[in-house]
Amino acid sequence: MATSPQADGESGTVFSAETYFATQPPPSSLEQDVARVKEFLQRQLQDGRKVVLVTSGGTTVPLELNVVRFLDNFSAGTRGATSAEYFLKAGYAVIFMHRQFSLQPFSRHYSHSTHPFLDFLEIDESSQSATSASSPRITVRPSEEPQLIEVLSTYKAVHRAGTLLTLNFVTVNDYLWLLRAVSQEMSILGRSCLYYLAAAVSDFFLPRQKMSVHKIQSGKGSLHIEMDQVPKILKPLVAEWTREGFIVSFKLETDPNLLLPKACQALARYGHQVVIGNDLHRRKFEVVFVSPKSSSSSASQPSAYEEAWLRIDLNKDPHKEIEEDIVAELVKRHEGWIRNAGTAT
């Protein structure tokens, strides 16, 4: 990887992570976010909890400094928000780093168009007597009460325990700066930290130095933009920022034949612990865990990796969430990672 921007003919500039952070400005909220993370981690250290960083949602790529137009990576944040709940249930403290306005733990149950919040509320006109000037009361449909009580009780318990910290990003630049800062702070936890990198991160970006200051005008009828590749951030995350963290990345493909080769390629390139492979059309009920074989002597060979498929039957249980089983498997693997600290090479 290059250590400085290099012109490469018509292919744009190649950025290393080091060069990226030296040339692209941090978000204005970074200092405040880091202070919140420090305070949160100190509390979890005192209470002896493991901590997971869950990234969720997609990143945008602004095309102007005064942003009107941008490119977006679509993601509602379903997997990240759902998984965060199951990590909390498993006893982890969670730093939930999400795209602004994407789904969040607990409120996700009432944020989707199939279950909008206002549809299960009713106005009780009978609570207003003829002689009273009081307003009607709002009530919850009886059929909705059991789930709402369960969700609300868990939400309140989590906040009383102080085990959930939410951070948000919008642009890919926000995401990269925040990921680096949070990872460096989490390194104090050693092997007790887990990284669950479920965000859909843009592959290309427009450096600030190349952006138009004002709105791009449409008078010329066509638009040509050359973008640069976002630096491969997993490499410094593994090698520098959090050397003992248990790191899980995701690989989404539309061609199932590419899923395993791409997952193995990512492990060989970055040296982290797990890639969870998703086929776009089967991701709600099937994923594959790809990880290095502990006995393998050559990480460059496909045989150096093992796969473990996880499937659920939505016909038998349409309300089952595959994230419950994903988190359960990762908790088990993370516990093994912690136990093996003394034998790791």
Q: 156 and 107 in contact (C-beta within 8 Å)? A: no
Q: Looking at the domain 29-109+147-215+225-244, which fold is it?
A: Rossmann fold (3.40.50)
Q: What is the CATH code of the structural domain delimited by 247-345?
A: 3.40.50.10300
Q: 247 and 273 in contact (C-beta within 8 Å)? A: yes
Return d(Cα 138, Cα 119) in angstroms, integer: 12
List phi, psi (to 5°) of 44.
-70, -35
Provide long-range contacts, Cβ within 8 A and 24+ apart, for 210-215.
Answer: 211/62, 211/63, 211/64, 211/65, 212/63, 212/64, 212/65, 213/64, 213/65, 213/66, 214/64, 214/65, 214/66, 215/64, 215/66, 215/68, 215/69
Extract the tokens encoding 140.
């919850």
Q: 246 and 191 in contact (C-beta within 8 Å)? A: yes
Return d(Cα 80, Cα 104) in angstroms, integer: 8
Q: List the pLDDT tens digit at each of the 345 positions of the chain.
A: 333 344 333 445 679 999 999 999 999 999 999 999 999 999 999 999 999 999 999 999 999 999 998 999 889 999 999 999 999 999 999 999 999 999 999 999 987 677 888 888 999 877 666 556 678 889 999 999 999 999 999 999 999 999 999 999 999 999 999 999 999 999 999 999 999 999 999 999 999 999 989 998 887 678 888 999 999 999 999 999 999 999 999 999 999 999 999 999 999 999 999 999 999 999 999 999 999 997 544 445 557 999 999 999 999 999 999 999 999 999 999 999 999 987 654
Return d(Cα 189, Cα 48) in angstroms, integer: 10
Return d(Cα 252, Cα 84) in angstroms, integer: 19
DSSP 215: P
Contacts of 233 (CB under 8 A, 6+ apart): 17, 176, 179, 180, 201
Q: Cite the DSSP H helix spans in 187-287.
A: 234-236, 256-270
pLDDT of residue 152: 95
Return d(Cα 334, Cα 289) in angstroms, integer: 13
Domains 29-109+147-215+225-244 and 247-345 belong to one CATH topology:
yes
DSSP string, 162-210: T-EEEEEE-BHHHHHHHHHHHHHHHGGGGGGEEEEE--B--SEE--GGG
Closest CA to 27 of 94, 81, 104, 100: 100
Contacts of 207 (CB under 8 A, 6+ apart): 13, 15, 23, 24, 228
pLDDT of residue 218: 80
Extract the tokens encoding 127.
């609570």
Q: Scan for tokens 């600290």, then name that residue.
A: 341
pLDDT of residue 9: 36
Domain ranges in the chain? 29-109+147-215+225-244, 247-345
Q: 263 and 288 in contact (C-beta within 8 Å)? A: yes
Closest CA to 214 of 68, 37, 61, 344: 68
Return d(Cα 252, Cα 276) in angstroms, integer: 9
Extract the tokens encoding 182.
């949070």
Return d(Cα 66, Cα 39) in angstroms, integer: 33
Could you tell me which residues are beta bridge partners of residue 7?
13
Q: Scan for tokens 């009273």, then name that residue.
A: 132
238-260 pLDDT tens trace? 999 999 999 999 999 999 999 99
